[in-house]
Structure 1
Amino acid sequence: MRIICLSPRMENYPWAFYQQDTLAELARQHEVFFYGPGFAAYDTNDGWKELFAKCPIREPELILLAHWWLRDRPGEPIDRHPKLRPSESGLPVVLILNKEYANLEEKLRYIRTNQINLILTHHHDADKYQQETGCRCSFWPFAVDMRKFPDQPAVKRYDMTFTGTLRNKVWPESQSDIRLRIQRRLFHCFLDSPILLRRRFRKWNVFWISQSRYPWINRIKKGWHLGANSYLRLLTESRAVINCLSPVQLVGSRYFESMAARALVLCEESERYDGLFSPADHCVTFKADLSDLIEIVEFYLSNEGTRSAITQRAYEHVRTFHTWERRIQELTALVADL
């Protein structure tokens, strides 16, 4: 397929992989012209006439608005380039709806106004978005690039790992406080910064690096954010990784990355995993009140055979069903029906 993909350049974006992984796999499977901030051809004054004149692809068939084409920050207009109205392109348009907790009403209004042909969403409310916009919408879960993970299991250095945000700072009402509560259960804390592992758990080698909700704490805690290579190596060297739902109960990419790293996914109980992976087969769940968390961690760290069987099943499952290669194939099949 011949595709014009509207997106900022994402190779150096440090906070997540999924945006760039999607663009890279799209280019592997299709002929793609990338256009947006950071790409050489981009000009904020261009309309469709100028864009098509710059496009090296003969007779493009599809416009794809990738993850970051619409802005997420509160108070900013979501339309990154008003001169490129999708409804005026003359081609079918697919939009990847990103961060469904951020400016959702404005994004859905943009979709309705521009008569988007197909919405891909990582959120389970695809039917709701379809009803609200009148545009076709398909659930398109997060995934993983298996090329980033070793074929053979790595030596495990850490018993349990967590990295990342404790609770979304911009949209806190969209996310539960379960990550904060887990941290408090395991650590003596100052505000929301872990200070010392509680005595009972010091037998475990725990890697825990969290982003505080307080900017001044993050400035003091240098190194709270891991680079891509360090993060991926950490997952492969971990026996178990704490995974919790993202804002609006999104099943984020870390679930799949942990499985690809052959780390045991320890996650809160949720119906949101239905159709993606199965508790006990591919992950281990704990109650939202954390009443069984410590018992579960004790058991699976002490029973390597049981843990390894789950992580191997999860690895095979994610390799088969949850790669970006498969997601782009799914996109291709959906576009064929437009």
Structure 2
Amino acid sequence: MNIILLSKNYQNYSSGYYHQDSINAFISVSNTFVYGPGYSHYDSNDSILEVIAKSNFTPTTVDLIVCSTSWDEDESLDSVDPQPSIDLSLIKNIPKVYFLNKEYKKLDIRFQYIKKNKIDLVCTVHPNAKKWENQIGIKFLYLPFGISLNRFKNLNLSRVYDFSFSGSLHKNHTDLRFNIKQHIFQKQHINKKSNCGLNSIFKLLRPEYKMYSIFWAEWGAKNLFYQNLLPKGEKYVKLLNQTKVFLNTPSAIGIFNTRFFELMATKSLILCPKTQKYEDILINEKNCLMFNPDLSDFKEKFTYAINNKSFREKITNQALEDVQSHTYINRIKTLINLI
């Protein structure tokens, strides 16, 4: 299959790996020409016909045109169109697919772009796929995030951290992560974004948690030299591999986020709240451990998961087996089979 993939170049990006990993999956399973900012053949004035000409395909041999998760203009408040000269509505006989991204902002503007360019199929990781299909009259495909097993793997490192969390609390959308922090941190230190670096000399944690080796770093956490305490790239993969139990929850808008798969692939036990948002991917006490959303059993589940190595290994072994079917290559194959 010959595919034109419209995308920014994310080869050197150190987070948000799903952009590049999905690009790599397209390249692995099809004859894909990637076009967009950061690639040598990019020209911001090109039309879609000029893009096709640069691909060495012809208009009659292109099987699919795809707008990737990174194609949208993200900085503008009133537009998502990264290149108005590329008008996909002019293409009549080639299927056009759009990957919806950042569904929590500018959604109506993204829908306008989809309709203006006469997109045939929209892929989204959001469970509202069917609702939005009915709303705008264009076919949607619920296609969850996936995993690159080349990037995330079990490195057989010593699990030096009993428990870890990194990322945003998303307090504007949910109070769950903050409530868990309140369980772990002493009240007077609740505004500290990390217990690492210089903060490690202070007694930030509640007495019932201070005997555990805990890594906690929120977005914006800095060390004494104003360096980011959130690990990225290989350091992030190493953190997952060094952690026995890792806290994760669905994203702020209920999306099954990439970290669930990353933890499964690195054999860090997922500790997560009970919810209906796991799409049958996670099953309590089979490939993860769930606690009540009111946190009434959080400390019990926390302690059991850390102290019971055989239970932990049983769960993480099953998670590693389960994640094999959730690669980005499989996701893209699912899409291509529908075209």
Give the TM-score normalised by the residue count of structure 2.
0.90
Shift of 1:287: 1.9
Q: Which residue of 1 aligns with 2:212?
A: 204
Residue type at the aligned position of 2:102: K
Secondary structure of the residue that 1:239 maps to in structure 2?
A: strand
**Mapping of residues 280-319 of structure 1, within 5 Å:** 280-319=285-324
Q: In the TM superposition, what whole-angstrom CA distance separates every residue of 1:201-221 from its partner, at most 9, and x where no partner exists?
A: 121111111114xx9x79975
Alignment partner of 1:94 is 2:97: yes
Alignment of 1:34-53 (within 5 A): 34-53=34-53
Q: TM-score, length-normalised on structure 1?
A: 0.91
What letter matches 1:193 in structure 2?
K
Distance change (3 Å), C-alpha of 1:211 and 1:43: same
Query: What is the one-letter code of the residue matched to 1:210?
Result: E
Which of 309, 333, 337 is residue 329 of structure 1 equivalent to?
Answer: 333
Residue type of the alignment partner of 2:229: W
**1:193 partner SS:** coil
Match of 2:227 in 1: 222
Cα 1:180–1:72 shift into 2, 3 Å? farther
Query: Percent of pairs identical after alignment?
Result: 30
Per-residue deviation, 1:300: 1.2
Higher mean C-alpha displacement, 145-154 vs 57-66: 145-154
Task: Tell me the distance in 2 between the aligned counterparts of 1:105 and 1:8.
Answer: 22
Q: What does residue 57 of structure 1 align with?
A: 57
1:186 aligns to what?
184
Q: How many Å separate the matches in 1 of 2:177 and 2:12?
A: 27
8 Å CA contact retained: 1:31, 1:57: no
User: What is the distance in 2 between the residues matched to 1:74 and 1:265?
Assistant: 36
Aligned length: 326
Q: Structure 1 residue 137: deviation in Å?
A: 0.6
Cα distance change on mapping 1:56 and 1:329 into 2, 3 Å = same
- The Cα RMSD (Å) is 2.0
> Is residue 79 of structure 2 the alignment partner of residue 77 of structure 1?
yes
Matched, 1:238 2:236: no
2:264 is aligned with 1:266: no
* CA shift digits 1:59-105 (9 cap, x unpaired): 22110000011234461521111111222133210111111112111
Deviations 1:103-155 (A, max 9, x none): 11111222222221111110111101111121111110111111124466432
Distance 1:178 1:26, change over 3 A: same
Q: Contact between 2:25 and 2:332, CA under 8 Å: does it hold in 1?
A: yes
In the aligned structure 1, how far is the partner of 2:265 from the partner of 2:169? Answer: 23
Q: Name which of structure 1's ranges 71-80 and 55-64 shifts more when overlaid on structure 2.
A: 71-80
Whichever residue aligns with residue 14 of structure 1, its letter is S
Return the offset for 1:236: 1.3
**Do the aligned residues in 2 keep the contact of 1:209 with 1:224 (CA within 8 Å)?**
yes
Greater shift in the superposed pair: 220-229 or 306-315: 220-229
Amino acid at match of 1:52: I
- Find the counterpart in structure 2 of residue 31 from structure 1: 31
Query: Matches of 2:110 and 2:304 in 1, distance apart?
Result: 45
